Amino acid sequence: MHPTASKLLCTLVRYEQPLALLGVYYLSHKLLHLALSAVSGLHYYVLSQWFPARDYRRYYGRWAVVMIERGTLSKHYAEELARKHMDIQIICAVDDKDKFETFSKYLSKTYKVRVGEVLAYNLDKDSAEGMLEFLKGKLSNLDSIGVMVNQMVARPEPKRYLDMSECEISEHIRVMLLMIHLTQFVLRGMKNQSSGVIVNIGDPSGEYPHCCESVHSASCAFMDYFSRSLSREVVYNKIHVQSLTPYLADMDDGDGRENKCTLLSITPPTVARNAVNGIGKTRSYGHFVYAVRGFFASLVPMCLRERNY
């Protein structure tokens, strides 16, 4: 046997017991973490769906402010909150105002809740600050805002960073800044009433770097860490902050009819229903199928994720 190998073997034999204890500690830590994750997942993805709270208005507050982006989960999330007897205030881009005015009438008629006038924003360079003050003024007229839902821009088609237009880059940044400023404004009211929920909806592209999605991936990562950090700040004020990142793409904003679910595709209304019933978890994929998918995705090493374009 080589002298170096022999010396190494003798060293390992000498420290056999400490190394064994270290291995037992590591294994116990991993098993405990897995057990706690399983219990948390059981509570969030199973029990909360079987025994959901029916009246969020009584628990959190009267109004739910929902920022809706076309082709995202936020529209279905607003409908589920209306199903929970919450009055709805919709905020959307000015180009989508007519469409969501029709949607607001549908919510009011179907769920017998009050829906405020749709607030539309136009984040041009010259009007961003004035638009923010306009929205704050409108929201200040709402008594007892219980839920605030922020929606990131829909996941775009993959594109190299150098091929992105200035408008595409600015859209992500301005929407993100609008969400942060409105969250701060609404959070002050929630702190005074010692209750509330803030949900920031993005997608899992922020969990690790994505080639040809640099701006969107970075934006989602920022909102995820912002949500988790803010959650620690306000938890003692009885305010829940959730980062919701479902694996959803190519959503249809048409008639909203719910098709059948498969193991690989969960319909947006189903994800929204599960997510609303499970409010309170700091991070969520919205559905247990997506949680399982995210778990296995986290096991893939980064070297296998990298692709050349």
- pLDDT tens per residue, range 208-217: 888 888 898 9
**233-247 pLDDT per residue, tens:** 998 998 999 999 998
Token pair for residue 215?
A: 């701006």
DSSP three-state, residue 223 = helix
**CA dihedral for 140, 142, 148, 150, sign (positive or negative):** negative
Map residue 92 onto helix, strand or coil. strand
Which residues partner with 197 through β-bridges? 147, 240
Question: What is the average pLDDT across 149-171?
Answer: 88
20-31: per-residue pLDDT in tens? 778 878 888 878
Report how far apart, in Å, the C-alpha atoms of 221 and of each of 115, 155, 170, 204, 215 are: 32, 13, 17, 8, 10
Residue type at position 11: T
Strands (E), the chain: 63-67, 87-93, 119-121, 145-151, 196-201, 239-244, 283-284
Find the mean pLDDT for residues 67-78: 90
Mean pLDDT of the chain: 83
CA pair distance 180, 177, nearest whole angstrom: 5
In the sheet that holds 239-244, the strands lie side by side as 119-121, 87-93, 63-67, 145-151, 196-201, 239-244, 283-284
The predicted pLDDT at position 49 comes to 63
pLDDT at residue 256 is higher than 50:
no
Please give the pLDDT value at position 230.
94
How far is 83 from 303, CA to CA, in rounded Å?
Answer: 45
- The answer to whether 87 and 114 are in contact (CB under 8 A) is yes
Q: Is the pLDDT of residue 90 over 70?
A: yes
Res 231: pLDDT: 93
Phi, psi of 184 (to 5 degrees): -60, -40
Confidence grade of residue 251 (pLDDT, cut at 50, 70, 90): low
Buried b (16+ CB within 10 A) or exposed e, 168-181: eeebbebbbebbbb
Please report, rounded to a whole number, the percentage of residues in the chain having pLDDT higher than 70.
83
Nearest-10 crossing angle of helices 16-42, 3-14: 70
